[in-house]
């Protein structure tokens, strides 16, 4: 914790500190501000690199001051060239203040001093325009410099200074609005690191969460944040995962359930063993995903930039024509101060970031504006079946020994398969491992596990190779035939069960049957997606056709592709695209990676394999299928907001330009109206969109408020 001599000044809710690390290589005010802004108690921060100080404004809640000082203790400058948060710098207020003071001082000065002071005040604007012209060509900064320079050259000192003030004010408000859009995502970029209570030598010691190592045993009590990803080894508790998954309702956790970093223990106590720590925790992976998202630029953003640059030339050409026809420099100045560029260039990314923030609040992480744009444009949604349309938590229903040998009974066979499958990351593997743990079966030693072309696993046990996977894999790739067991296999499949086949070079060893059921929200989600413009709903599965078709009919899907080998999923996606479809694919397994990449938009379920999550454009953090419909609705509405803002920017600025051409608007009025229009568009983009469910809830709340007001008036009467 920073020492007392680092505290320079303090008031209730405000503290100013000396931060020597601000002078270190790689340190910037932005990084320190971003580091502190993740605390819920912090309302605003301002870092000064020259003075190496930080001012923090915070809520006066119990323990807030101590948490702020503890947070500062963990700050270290990022390495030079390392990842940055991608956020906009804190807007400069100094130019605006200087312009305002200049305007106030002019009446008290002689004419020569007025000219000198005006020249000093507008020098930065003129210099910025000149530098832009040399380095980048004709941009909006050039037009601003021309307009202000013309006013000053004609001796219109008040007009030049006032116009400069209005431009500075506009830039300040624009940057403030843009930075606010970045701060909406700040909590997700850098989750606050939690402290951890570690069991060591029979005692509990407290250490920072980022110092926990894999395999450490931790204890977490009521009100504490779980610092790492891990598994419960004892205890029972209610855990709130809202900050990570978006789920509002706490979930029950007990052995051997998985817990994720960033969750808060609401009630109870848990002992957990750390499985993923530091940069591998869920919250750290989310931070990296969102960092990548902020760096992505969509086609819409690139098009907005192109059109904005074109409009600068339009304004310049219009000014030249106006002056050529009227020889009126005042009109020329007014025309030059109409700028389409800011509203077009800033409004689009702010709207995208607002959409990403709104989506994150609903358990959807979108990788930049391109993901939003592509999802809004798809007309076909393709779903993997297991773990996507059906619930990801399968349960083992039957363990059948087909031949004596390595596994002479059901418990031995289940223990054997679970010992091999624990190295896989898929709902089937998780269900088998869970079943073995629930029966307290011991781990069986085996050799190195090989993952074989997305078909199955193999390992050596007691000198013999054991193969686990699909029937196709065992029969076609290894010649292990199950024809003698067809009657039993058919009966299990007819009852809607998923089968995992176990074999050895000597022949079949056994079967493990699992059952999955459609997600409760699957049918309703399909209806919502159709209402949101999705024309084709398709399922891909490796299951037998009769079982897949029954589920497709139940959910009202348009088509089903059954008995599909994992490597063929991507080919089916490509085929749909060749037919002119814009396709999104929703999956969760290791073998879904190629399909997620091939689709126009890849959507990964929350319990998906790491490769599926790494290749996806959109990650679902909430384990509900309805979140897919939420994501589509947010994407469609965000693109609608962007198009609306685009039309407003063009229409309003064209109206202002017409007023400037006609001589109705003075340069000051032109600057004021233009900047006001830009800020209004940015605020509308920052406000973002709401889901229909949110709007219904808001309307219901308003109706209840009105009813309560009416009741109060009735009681008074």
Q: Residues with catalytic annotation?
A: 384
Q: Residue 270 forms beta bridges with which residues?
A: 220, 235
Q: Is there a cis peptide before residue 256, judged by omega within 30 degrees of 0? A: yes
First-to-last C-alpha distance (Å) of the chain: 60
According to DSSP H, which parts of 506-625 are helical?
A: 522-531, 545-555, 569-578, 593-598, 610-615
Q: Return the sign of the alpha-carbon dihedral for residues 109, 111, 112, 118.
A: positive
CB-CB contact of 487 with 404 (8 Å): no
**Helix (H/G/I), strand (E/B), else coil: 468:** strand
Pairing status of strand 14-18 against strand 7-11: antiparallel
How many C-beta atoms lie closer than 10 Å to residue 222's C-beta?
A: 12
Nearest to 385 by CA among 472, 471, 498, 492: 498
- Write the CA distances from 509 to 421, 422, 688, integer angstroms: 16, 19, 58
- Running DSSP on this structure, what letter comes out for residue 225? B
How many C-beta atoms lie closer than 10 Å to residue 122's C-beta?
A: 24
- Write the CA distances from 581 to 23, 93, 561, 599, integer angstroms: 54, 50, 16, 10
- Which tokens go with 450? 């090989």
What is the C-alpha separation between 449 and 437, in angstroms, rounded? 20
- Write the CA distances from 561 to 152, 308, 465, 547, integer angstroms: 72, 46, 33, 11
Helix (H) or strand (E) holding 295: helix 282-295
How many C-beta atoms lie closer than 10 Å to residue 626's C-beta?
A: 19
Count how many Cα atoms sit within 13 Å of the Cα of residue 339 in the half-sphere of its side chain.
29
- Which tokens go with 653? 């600025």
What is the C-alpha separation between 476 and 493, in angstroms, rounded? 20
**Helix (H/G/I), strand (E/B), else coil: 158:** helix
Strands, E assignment, 28-100: 42-48, 53-58
Contacts of 601 (CB under 8 A, 6+ apart): 371, 374, 375, 378, 583, 584, 585, 617, 618
CB-CB contact of 352 with 372 (8 Å): yes
Nearest to 24 by CA among 56, 55, 52: 52
Nearest to 428 by CA among 269, 571, 589: 589
What is the C-alpha separation between 423 and 131, in angstroms, rounded? 59
CB-CB contact of 102 with 118 (8 Å): yes
- Write the CA distances from 193 to 38, 70, 277, integer angstroms: 10, 10, 12
Pairing status of strand 42-48 against strand 14-18: unpaired
- Which tokens go with 115? 């000219």
Contacts of 702 (CB under 8 A, 6+ apart): none
Helix (H) or strand (E) holding 141: helix 140-153
- Running DSSP on this structure, what letter comes out for residue 518? B
Nearest to 100 by CA among 163, 174, 173: 163
């Amino acid at each position: 914790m920073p020492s007392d001599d680092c505290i320079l000044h303090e008031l209730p809710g405000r503290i100013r500190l000396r931060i020597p690390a601000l002078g270190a290589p790689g340190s910037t005010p932005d990084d320190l501000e971003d580091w502190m802004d993740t605390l819920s108690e912090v309302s605003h921060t301002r870092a000064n690199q020259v003075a190496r100080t930080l001012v923090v404004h915070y809520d006066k809640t119990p323990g807030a001051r101590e948490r702020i000082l503890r947070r500062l203790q963990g700050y270290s400058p990022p390495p030079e060239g390392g990842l940055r948060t991608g956020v906009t710098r804190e807007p400069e207020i100094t130019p605006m203040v200087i312009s305002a003071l200049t305007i106030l001082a002019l009446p008290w000065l002689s004419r020569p001093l007025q000219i000198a002071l005006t020249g000093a005040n507008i020098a930065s604007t003129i210099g910025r325009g000149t530098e832009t012209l040399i380095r980048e060509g004709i941009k909006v900064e050039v037009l601003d410099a021309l307009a202000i320079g013309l006013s000053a050259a004609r001796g219109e000192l008040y007009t030049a200074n006032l116009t400069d003030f209005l431009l500075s004010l506009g830039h300040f408000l624009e940057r403030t609005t843009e930075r606010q859009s970045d701060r909406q995502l700040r909590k997700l970029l850098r989750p606050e690191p939690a402290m951890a209570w570690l069991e060591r030598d029979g005692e509990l010691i407290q250490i920072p969460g980022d110092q926990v190592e894999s395999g450490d045993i931790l204890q977490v009590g009521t009100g504490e944040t779980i610092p790492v990803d891990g598994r419960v080894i004892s205890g029972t508790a209610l855990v709130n995962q809202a900050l990570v998954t978006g789920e509002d309702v706490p979930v029950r956790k007990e052995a051997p359930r998985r817990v994720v970093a960033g969750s808060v223990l609401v009630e109870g106590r848990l002992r957990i063993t750390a499985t993923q720590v530091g940069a591998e925790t869920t919250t750290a992976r989310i931070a990296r995903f969102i960092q990548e998202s902020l760096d992505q630029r969509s086609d819409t953003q690139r098009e907005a930039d192109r059109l904005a640059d074109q409009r600068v030339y339009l304004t310049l050409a219009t000014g030249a024509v106006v002056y050529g026809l009227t020889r009126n420099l005042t009109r020329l100045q007014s025309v030059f101060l109409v700028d389409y560029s800011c509203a077009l260039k800033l409004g689009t990314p702010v709207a995208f970031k607002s959409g990403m923030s709104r989506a994150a609040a609903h358990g959807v992480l979108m990788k930049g504006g391109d993901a939003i744009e592509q999802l809004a444009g798809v007309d076909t949604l393709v779903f993997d079946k297991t773990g996507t349309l059906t619930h990801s938590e399968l349960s083992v229903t039957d363990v059948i020994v087909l031949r004596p040998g390595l596994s002479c009974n059901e418990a031995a066979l289940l223990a054997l398969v679970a010992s091999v499958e624990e190295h896989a990351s898929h709902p089937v593997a998780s269900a088998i491992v869970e079943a073995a743990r629930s029966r307290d079966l011991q781990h069986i030693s085996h050799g190195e596990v090989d993952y074989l072309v997305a078909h199955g696993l193999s390992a050596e046990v007691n000198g013999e190779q054991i193969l686990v996977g699909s029937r196709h894999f065992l029969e076609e790739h290894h010649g292990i035939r199950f024809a003698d067991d067809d009657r039993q296999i058919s009966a299990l499949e007819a009852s809607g069960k998923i089968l995992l086949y176990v074999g050895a070079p000597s022949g079949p060893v056994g079967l493990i049957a699992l059952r999955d059921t459609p997600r409760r929200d699957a049918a309703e989600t399909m209806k919502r997606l159709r209402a949101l413009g999705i024309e084709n709903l398709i399922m891909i599965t490796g299951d037998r056709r009769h079982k897949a078709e029954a589920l497709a009919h139940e959910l009202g899907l348009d088509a089903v592709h059954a008995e599909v080998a994992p490597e063929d999923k991507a080919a089916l996606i490509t085929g749909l695209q060749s037919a002119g479809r814009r396709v999104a694919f929703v999956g969760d397994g290791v073998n879904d990676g190629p399909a997620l990449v091939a689709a126009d938009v890849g959507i990964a379920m929350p319990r998906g394999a790491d490769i599926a999550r790494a290749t996806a454009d959109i990650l679902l953090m909430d384990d509900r299928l309805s979140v897919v419909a939420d994501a589509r609705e947010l994407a469609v509405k965000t693109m609608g907001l962007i198009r609306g803002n685009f039309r407003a920017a063009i229409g309003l600025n064209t109206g202002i330009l017409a007023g400037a051409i006609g001589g109705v608007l003075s340069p000051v009025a032109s600057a004021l109206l233009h900047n006001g229009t830009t800020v209004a568009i940015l605020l509308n983009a920052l406000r973002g969109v709401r889901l229909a469910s949110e709007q219904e809830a808001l309307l219901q709340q308003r109706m209840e408020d009105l009813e309560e007001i009416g009741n109060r008036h009735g009681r008074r009467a």
